[in-house]
Structure 1
Amino acid sequence: MKIAVCDDNILFQEEIKNLLYEYFGRLSVEIKLFSNGMEFLRAVQSISNPFDLVFMDIEMPGIDGLETSRQLRKKNRDLFLIFLSSHTELAFDGYEVDAFRFLTKPVKRDKLWKALSDWEKSRLSEERICFNLGDRSQVLSWSEIQYIQSENVYVNVVTVSQRILVRMKMKELEKKMPESMFFKPHRSYLVNLKHILSFDSKKIRMADGLEVPLSRRHAAEFRNRMMKFLNR
């Protein structure tokens, strides 16, 4: 994922960059640093893939963070913005540009962690996929999919309200889905951690009652992933 930090304080840039690496891991996130609004807007125009999340300092010389965000919103209404400022009274300015969160400086580690966790939940719940079913297409959000079962060149996609059969290989679908939401406990299944009702060392029980086998070599990894998911 791509994250931008737009702040005129170089020391703060490095501080929040290190905190983001600590939270996500260096290999799973690309962080770009910008010192003013104009520099950031020029970069956005030249980048083909937009940022997933932007940390925006409200008070900057030249174009401040609020005006930078106004211009950004003209091109991207869906981008997640987190405003930064040492003045709490400026938090209300974020409503104008639909900021996701406001963090006061200096940023506290637990407050940042909470904001990132909430952002991940919002981001994952909004992501969608379109399945081609031949004569029609079916659009689903990842969050409503309970589990996926492989059947040779087909997959059964099971949601809370329906089951659809899609001509697609499991590996192809696995590349598209949000990694932190799904787990592969067995070569024939992908389960949504959100829809797990109970589990032990040998099986996982889904919300609809299905018991999915949990292979011994994946048991420890599954427990760690499940605990991390529940404690977000």
Structure 2
Amino acid sequence: MTPTVRRRMGSMQFTIHMGDPAERTALLRMLETWRGLTCASVEFADWTPEHRPEPGGILFWDLDDCPPPVAAVGKCALFLCSSSSGAAIASYPLHPAGLLRKPVGMDKLWAALHRSVKLWWDSLERLEITSDRCRIRLPLCDLVWVESTRRNSLVHSTQGPIATREALTALEGRLPRGLFLRCQRSFLVNLRHVRRLDSEGLCMSDGAVVPLSRSSRSEVAEAYRQFCLLWDGGKGDGETRYG
């Protein structure tokens, strides 16, 4: 049977309560960006008195609006948002998993979520590949780049290289477009792990440089620029900030 990208049985839920609609919209957009870059199977919901967050999920709560009811927290992790410098002390009885100082920026949100990686690790989408008769379920966010080795491929991950007999074209077909980019015939990169584009090629997070031909450079450069615009708040300066 051909391996596929699989999700774990239950995608987790992020529930949001923000008193200011503009702050709620901004937080939701940042969480959607985080979900896209991390390849996490996450659903979003607004908190209401009738809606109880799912156990095992994360509740983002605006502490400036009101303290969260005990019933609202339940068995989910609590991330508090506040503009008060004393919020950390005031929130101690609530045992929050994270505290975000307003205005909440992407850097703060990214750091807070990655300090709590155990909460959402099981929600990561994974790529099943076979190497030396062993089946590996590699989180997509840990896949840095792939190179073709004739009919086979070498997957470079954050944990090291993984050799597989699957062709690069077959791997490409099982990865989300927009995040993974084919470079020439021999390379496939995770744009999240691109640190910069220079005269030598794409500089990856693992220190490798993926070379580009003259004919492909302009196309790859434009794809990377569009990626930065989409995921990095419109800055588009050619530097990937999150990864």
Alignment TM-score > 0.5, same fold: yes
- Distance in 1, Cα, partners of 2:65 & 2:173: 45
Q: Taking every aligned residue pair, what percent have the same amino acid on both sides?
A: 15
SS in 2 for 1:167: coil
Match of 2:172 in 1: 171
Match of 2:197 in 1: 199
Structure 2 counterpart of 1:54, one-letter code: L
Residue 33 (structure 1) shift: 2.0
What's the RMSD between the two structures over aligned residues? 4.4
Identify if the C-alpha distance between structure 1 residues 208 and 55 changes in structure 2 by more than 3 Å, giving closer, same or farther. closer
For each residue in 1:10-37, what CA deviation from the matched residue of structure 2 results, as whole angstroms up to 9, or x when unmatched?
A: xx2x222321355457xx797532233x
- Distance in 2, Cα, partners of 1:208 & 1:230: 16
Match of 1:35 in 2: 48
SS in 2 for 1:35: coil
Match of 1:76 in 2: none
Match of 1:222 in 2: 224
Match of 1:90 in 2: 90
Alignment of 1:23-172 (within 5 A): 23=30, 24=32, 31-36=44-49, 39-41=50-52, 44=54, 53-57=58-62, 64-69=68-73, 71-73=74-76, 81-85=78-82, 88=87, 89-94=89-94, 96=95, 99=97, 101-103=98-100, 107-108=102-103, 111-119=104-112, 126=121, 127=124, 129=126, 130-133=128-131, 135-142=133-140, 144-150=142-148, 154-159=152-157, 161-167=160-166, 169-172=170-173
SS in 1 for 2:240: helix
- Distance in 1, Cα, partners of 2:48 & 2:222: 43
Asked if structure 1 preserves the Cα contact closer than 8 Å seen for 2:145 and 2:187, the reply is yes
Unaligned regions of 5+ residues in structure 1, if any?
74-78
- Distance in 2, Cα, partners of 1:228 & 1:195: 10
Residue 174 (structure 1) shift: 1.4
Paired positions, count: 199
Asked if structure 2 preserves the Cα contact closer than 8 Å seen for 1:145 and 1:158, the reply is yes
For each residue in 1:54-84, what CA deviation from the matched residue of structure 2 results, as whole angstroms up to 9, or x when unmatched?
A: 31245988x9445532x223xxxxx6x4213
Residue 165 (structure 1) shift: 0.8
SS in 2 for 1:20: helix
Asked if structure 2 preserves the Cα contact closer than 8 Å seen for 1:185 and 1:219, the reply is no
Identify if the C-alpha distance between structure 1 residues 144 and 35 changes in structure 2 by more than 3 Å, giving closer, same or farther. closer
Unaligned regions of 5+ residues in structure 2, if any?
1-11, 37-41, 229-237
Asked if structure 2 preserves the Cα contact closer than 8 Å seen for 1:2 and 1:30, the reply is yes
Q: Which has the higher helix share?
A: 1
- Distance in 2, Cα, partners of 1:64 & 1:231: 30
Identify if the C-alpha distance between structure 1 residues 90 and 186 changes in structure 2 by more than 3 Å, giving closer, same or farther. farther
Asked if structure 2 preserves the Cα contact closer than 8 Å seen for 1:128 and 1:139, the reply is no
- Distance in 1, Cα, partners of 2:69 & 2:202: 47
Structure 1 counterpart of 2:26, one-letter code: L
